[in-house]
Structure 1
Amino acid sequence: MRAGLFRRTLAVLAAAAIGLTSLVPATAAPARIKDIVDVEGIRDNQLVGYGLVVGLNGTGDSLNNSPFTRQSLTAMLERMGVNTRGETLRTANVAAVMVTANLPPFATQGTRIDVSVSAMGDASSLRGGTLLVTPLLGADGDAYAIAQGSVLINGFSAEGQAASVVSGVPTTGLVSSGGLVEREIGFTLGAQHSVRLSLKNPDLTTSRRIAMAINDLIGLPVAIPSDPANVRLSLPSGFNGNIVDLLTDIEQLVIQTDQVARVVINENSGIIVIGRDVRVSSVAIAHANLTITVAENPTVVQPEPFSFGETAIEDRTRIDVTEDGTQLAVVPESISLQQLVDGLNALGISPRDLIAILQAIKASGALQAEIEVI
């Protein structure tokens, strides 16, 4: 199929797909393939390095408490031709830091990237400091970038003789465009004859729908769903273009995504997120509020006249326990998320109590969903 004819066919099919969206059940959420998959080979790579920040205004590491800073400073000065071994160093203007960055996909030599700087020792602030040349290493131990530049921080700290104030985290900062890529990662996407599309939210139904949409567009079985998380895409024979052209053509296709019914609970904050497809069978719930009140009412006891006694404080504690009476409340079988929420809200309970109720409903077998606690 020629490229020009293929583009016109794409436009016609895309228009037809927009018209067919009204026929798809409303329970599915439409999304572009571009937004729900990651393409094999298009990914960041994490880099890390160890370096020194200099030029601090007395807020750096104390060399007695941070021996790694003293050793690094001594080694750096030796490379500069200054011998300080055996000497006592008392500077507080240097801080040892860890430097991290993400190497973008297909970054070429000379590309600038942002790097993050975090103090390792007891430095109180990195404000005004300059990061010295620091190699950034990949997982294989090779250096892929070099970082250097002025450290920008958002936090600040100030202190006096009797008080201090700290805002944000002054021991972490950013060197904007401070990383310089020195080594490229060898991967040529255009030379590939097949790639793997990895779903960001793995699901069998969504994986199959992606493959069907691509095959309908191309007219050939070029996409095969291998598992819930991956779809294998092959370059069709007779296609006038490479794999990049094919990815460009299919990434705008709209797919009706699906997902497993799930309830996500954060017990620390009391946040509950209920998925769209969560259903509950008819169930009766009883919820009682237990209140315990402890009141301390110390009283002063005076000695008898002419007894030469001392005034004393007598502790008096009052404990009240009350339990609100309650009756069984029925949460009817729900066929929609709104009905489920209305039924649970009718109980008049707090989010933290709702967490325990949802877990109890799940244990009874009345909740048709997974519960994930984070």
Structure 2
Amino acid sequence: MVSPLTLMRLLRLLRRCGALLLGAALALTPFSLAQAERLKDLVSIQGVRDNPLIGYGLVVGLDGTGDQTMQTPFTTQTLSNMLANLGISINNAGPGGSGGGGASNMQLKNVAAVMVTAKLPAFSRPGEAIDVTVSSLGNAKSLRGGTLLLTPLKGADGQVYALSQGNLAVGGAGASANGSKVQVNQLAAGRIAGGAIVERAVPTMVSQGGTIQLELNEMDYDTTQRIVGAVNRTFGDGTANALDGRTIQLRAPADTAQQVAFMAQLQNLDVKPAQAAAKVILNARTGSIVMNQMVTLQNCAVAHGNLSVVINTQPVVSQPGAFSNGQTVVAQQSQIQMKQDNGALKYITAGANLAEVVKALNALGATPADLMSILQAMKAAGALRAELEII
């Protein structure tokens, strides 16, 4: 027979065990969910995209940092044409007569020719404001404090889709005096938040014949099949159908309002993507090397040595003898040294994870530039189990 005291102790122990199990379950739940990604992060909707816009305009109000008109004649030509459209005629005598050539004698330091670029988002309607980027086209020193004049922004078809105008925000500063110059960040480009007004809408076709197509950001048959399975489990069999390793066709509702609700629920689905392919990225310009966790090495032996050539040139004065009527001559004497570091043969064992791969490569004591050659040689020898990409 169990005493009341023993029974109370047993109940307390069960409560503690239950609390520990609950805490462990709560701790494991975010970890398991963290492996899955939302569908909106894996795919894009076919037909829903941005449209690039471009325009040419003038920035005025600069503090003497504009284009040098003698080297950028198109700035004065543009300003002359704009003033002519406003009813102001410039009658300067110049080699071009009237019009743009007549403005060749103008010395403008507060005006700069610029290119204006923007992105027209999908489903944009006339009257909406979009951001624009303004970049100097000539030799202006700075666009800081300038104002962009009315500039039409055109698409690839030559049609005007937006009108841009406003004050620039340049994220930099600079000063120069007596040949000295100090500059922080880039001063020849700026941005206008909400600086363009949409004037024409671009038709966006999401549903065609009652179907919507999704495109994976990266082609993968395994991930495509997992997305199809997750969609069909949520919305019913036959809702999603894989066309290839990148494209998925969906059977969407016919009503537009139901399509919005359908896509909102669809994009929040959690899908666990397939493991990424093993890849090593080499940046030849900066010497950066990046590899993902799927990269592995096979058993191999590597010998690496550096060859350096040092040339040291020193002036040597040749002084003639007394009463020889000779001249003092300065000659250059060069010394060339060639040094080659010993490249010991090192054995690298197979690495099962990224940490072991990095440890094996660091054991060679090579620089990032040397590692590029080593990784390429490993790939050619079949010891590097990864795709090698040079950017």
Q: TM-score scaled by structure 1?
A: 0.85
% identical equivalent positions: 39
- For residue 197 of structure 2, what is the aligned residue in structure 1? 180
Deviation at 1:137, TM superposition (A): 0.9
1:200-349 → structure 2 map (5 Å cutoff)? 200-235=217-252, 242-257=258-273, 258-349=275-366
Is the 1:189–1:243 Cα contact (8 Å) retained in structure 2?
A: no
Where does the alignment leave 5 or more consecutive residues of structure 2 unmatched?
1-27, 92-97
Deviation at 1:337, TM superposition (A): 2.0
Q: 1:48 aligns with which of 50, 54, 57?
A: 54
Q: Output one character per residue of 1:273-315: Cα deviation in whole Å (capped at 9) or x when no partner.
A: 1122222221111112223333334444433344444444443
Deviation at 1:364, TM superposition (A): 1.4
Deviation at 1:189, TM superposition (A): 4.5
Task: Give, in whole Å, the separation in 1 of the partners of 2:69 and 2:331.
Answer: 55
Matching of residue 38 in structure 1 with residue 55 in structure 2: no
- For residue 88 of structure 2, what is the aligned residue in structure 1? 82
Task: Give, in whole Å, the separation in 2 of the partners of 1:331 and 1:153.
Answer: 52
One-letter amino acid of the counterpart of residue 69, structure 2: L
Residue aligned with 2:36, SS: strand
Task: Give, in whole Å, the separation in 1 of the partners of 2:82 and 2:119.
Answer: 26
Task: Give, in whole Å, the separation in 1 of the partners of 2:370 and 2:335.
Answer: 27
Number of aligned residues: 353
Residue aligned with 1:247, SS: helix
Task: Give, in whole Å, the separation in 2 of the partners of 1:128 and 1:236.
Answer: 51
One-letter amino acid of the counterpart of residue 245, structure 1: A
One-letter amino acid of the counterpart of residue 145, structure 1: A
Task: Give, in whole Å, the separation in 2 of the partners of 1:289 and 1:372.
Answer: 24
Task: Give, in whole Å, the separation in 1 of the partners of 2:71 and 2:340.
Answer: 56
Where does the alignment leave 5 or more consecutive residues of structure 1 unmatched?
1-17
One-letter amino acid of the counterpart of residue 275, structure 1: N
Task: Give, in whole Å, the separation in 1 of the partners of 2:184 and 2:155.
Answer: 33
One-letter amino acid of the counterpart of residue 38, structure 1: S
Residues 63 and 307 of structure 1, relative CA distance in 2, 3 Å threshold: closer
Is the 1:192–1:243 Cα contact (8 Å) retained in structure 2?
A: no
Deviation at 1:188, TM superposition (A): 6.0
Q: TM-score scaled by structure 2?
A: 0.81
Task: Give, in whole Å, the separation in 2 of the partners of 1:163 and 1:335.
Answer: 56
Is the 1:261–1:277 Cα contact (8 Å) retained in structure 2?
A: yes
Residues 190 and 324 of structure 1, relative CA distance in 2, 3 Å threshold: closer
Task: Give, in whole Å, the separation in 2 of the partners of 1:55 and 1:21.
Answer: 56
One-letter amino acid of the counterpart of residue 345, structure 2: L
Q: Output one character per residue of 1:109-164: Cα deviation in whole Å (capped at 9) or x when no partner.
A: 21111111112223222222221111111112111111011122223443333333
Is the 2:122–2:204 Cα contact (8 Å) retained in structure 1?
A: no
Residue aligned with 1:316, SS: strand
Higher RCO, Cα 8 Å, sep 6+: 1
- For residue 59 of structure 1, what is the aligned residue in structure 2? 65
CA-atom RMSD in angstroms: 2.9
